[in-house]
Structure 1
Amino acid sequence: MEIVVCVKQVPDTTEVKIDPQTNTLIRQGVPSIVNPFDKNAVEAAIQLKEKHGGKVTVISMGPPQAKDALKECLAMGADEAVLVSDRAFGGADTLATSYTLAAAIRKIGNVDLIICGKQAIDGDTAQVGPEAAEHLGLPQVTCAAKIEVEAGKARVEREHEEGYEVIEAQLPLLITVVKSINEPRFPTVKGTMKANRKEIPVWTVEELTIDPAKLGLKGSPTQVRRIFTPQQRTQGEIIQADTAREAVLALMGKLADAKII
């Protein structure tokens, strides 16, 4: 079974700061990590490979340093990795990003299953996976908490607010996964050494069959105009009184003064 996992290198959100002049994320000096949901996707793919055989290829669109994220996935147990990187891809929104990733998946060819994390912690849109499925003309199941594959079909338990629903779909298929699906394994020392020796190919615009007008900022119908930190709310007032009755009367007086009641 041929499985492709889409991963993203994201800034550690505990360290994220915003430039007040440009309204963009300050990435310099901020540690980068593999998007946590994508680690769950990699683990799900490896488990399916261990059960059914086949190959797991991880793919990421990003700058050259995104190779570090791909190497971590290789150290976990993925077989191959591809970095899609070109200045023409810069500034892409979710639609342009998913279009580019779909082109790369087509280049890989003969893919049975594509697994993505539910969303990236830096954008939180949960759009790239479903949009890639649309570009590829494939069925999709989102928010998977369990995946079983047998006889060319996938049986997926889909998590939602009221419980789970079971969906069966024919392969090839794209699935996005939630954190409850598994606990990602730690890279082994042997796996890390092997990953560091592995050459990761970089695919640019020239390597892909792709429309340049649909790439990067130019191909993005949505653009971020402003990013800001919400104003911190002031803390409420604690009313001190000798009795509950006095406290209630004091509260009623303040609410009346504020014309709330």
Structure 2
Amino acid sequence: MRIVVCVKEVLDPAAVNNYALSGGLAMSADGRHPEVAAIPRLINGYDEQALEAALRLRDAGLDCRIVVVTIATEAASMLKQCAALGADEIVAIDPGSRELDAPGIATVLAAWVRSSGGADLILCGRQASDDDQGVVPLLLAENLGHAVTTLAREVSLADGALSVTRATPEGDEVVRGKLPAVVTVSNELGAPRFPTAKAKMAARKMSAEVVAIDSLGIDAAALTPSITLQRQFVPQIQGNCEFLSGSPAEIAKALMERIRAA
């Protein structure tokens, strides 16, 4: 079985938040992207959990080959981390100078999946921590004609059938279906594993397969963005904190008065 895990490299969300709260996050001259010289980049957290879901399937005895793919020009460090965690193959699709929107990214990933031999199961993070849209996996499934389910907290396979436990606001929901399928993985899956020192050493020798986007035979019109980023800005953050004093009963009464007034 071939499992494809789609990953994305993002700015460290904690570092971005810290810079924003301290007033040190500035936008570049084009007004569209933050100045990122001092902000580290890492694998999107939800995508790391998607890889963890694939590794757990293999741990459970599934005979599979795990392929990690990303669309990026410079993501060697992230892909080697995926290799250290247990990926059998790592692939980087070079977009060149193109700026892709969500439909464009899904189109490229679908074209690569088809050209590389297909996939029985595609795992993605529920969303990316930088734009929080979560639409690429759904578009990818539509493009490939695969079944899709979202917000997985557990993924299992038995007799060729897929079982996914979904984390919903109303509680867990179990869905079952046939492969091929696309599944988005949520943080309820649990903490991902850490690579061992031995695995990190072995991953250093592993090279990513680099695929030029022009080699995928995609019509240029299909890659023309329908949505373009115009501007990003850092909102003014203002915090007001008031401490209530007195006995517990007095504090509770004062708090309720403020809540009613609001």
Q: TM-score, normalised by structure 1?
A: 0.85
Total equivalences in the alignment: 243
Paired with 2:115 and 2:37, the residues of 1 have a C-alpha distance of 33
Amino acid at match of 1:7: V
- Partner-residue secondary structure (3-state), 1:53: coil
Structure 1 residues 188 and 220: CA distance shift in structure 2, 3 A: same
Q: Which residue of 1 aligns with 2:100?
A: 92
1:195 to 203, 219, 243: 203
- Partner-residue secondary structure (3-state), 1:46: helix
8 Å CA contact 2:84–2:200 kept in 1: the answer is yes
Once superposed, what is the RMSD of the aligned Cα atoms?
Answer: 2.4
For residue 152 of structure 1, report the CA deviation from its aligned partner: 1.8
- Partner-residue secondary structure (3-state), 1:25: coil
Q: Percent identity?
A: 33
For residue 177 of structure 1, report the CA deviation from its aligned partner: 0.4
Deviations 1:87-112 (A, max 9, x none): 24x32121111111111111222311
Deviations 1:185-229 (A, max 9, x none): 1111221122111121110123212122222xxx11111222122
Q: Which residue of 2 aligns with 1:8?
A: 8
Amino acid at match of 2:122: I
Paired with 1:184 and 1:238, the residues of 2 have a C-alpha distance of 39
Task: Map residues 97-112 of structure 1 onto 2, 5 A cutoff.
Answer: 97-112=105-120
Structure 1: which 5+ runs fail to align? Answer: 253-259
Bigger shift: residues 111-120 or 187-196: 187-196
8 Å CA contact 2:27–2:233 kept in 1: the answer is no
Q: Does 1:79 align with 2:84?
A: no
Q: Which residue of 1 aligns with 2:34?
A: 25
- Partner-residue secondary structure (3-state), 1:122: coil
Paired with 1:100 and 1:154, the residues of 2 have a C-alpha distance of 25
Task: From the CA coordinates, give the structure whose radius of gyration is larger.
Answer: 1
8 Å CA contact 1:56–1:79 kept in 2: the answer is yes
Q: TM-score, normalised by structure 2?
A: 0.85
1:213 to 221, 233, 239: 221
Q: Which residue of 1 aligns with 2:22?
A: none
8 Å CA contact 2:108–2:213 kept in 1: the answer is no
Structure 2: which 5+ runs fail to align? Answer: 17-24
For residue 165 of structure 1, report the CA deviation from its aligned partner: 1.2
Paired with 2:153 and 2:137, the residues of 1 have a C-alpha distance of 16
Paired with 1:210 and 1:146, the residues of 2 have a C-alpha distance of 34
Q: Which residue of 2 aligns with 1:231?
A: 236
